[in-house]
Amino acid sequence: MYYTYVLKSLIDSNLYIGWAPDLKRRVVNHNKGLVESTKNRRPLKLVYYEACLSKERAVKREKYFKTGFGRNFLNQRI
């Protein structure tokens, strides 16, 4: 399984969207500061995720969530 996920910064309330094969480990790495793009926005809270059967599908969902339509979808869910 692959996961598309959304993290929310508890500092600035901004969202971070990504994908990973191991969701638990990825969230831990974000909160430990091991991910460059989020290390200054910690702590982060997992607010949404989807499980996908393929890497390609997870990447496609990530790209969708980064569009205006995708962000609108997330804002209605979160």
What global pTM score does this model have? Answer: 0.93
Q: Domains (ranges, CATH) in the chain?
A: 2-77 (3.40.1440.10)
Reference 4, options 47, 59, 46, 45; nearest CA is 59
pLDDT digits (tens, 9 = 90+) for 9-64: 999 999 999 999 999 999 999 999 999 999 999 999 999 999 999 999 999 999 99
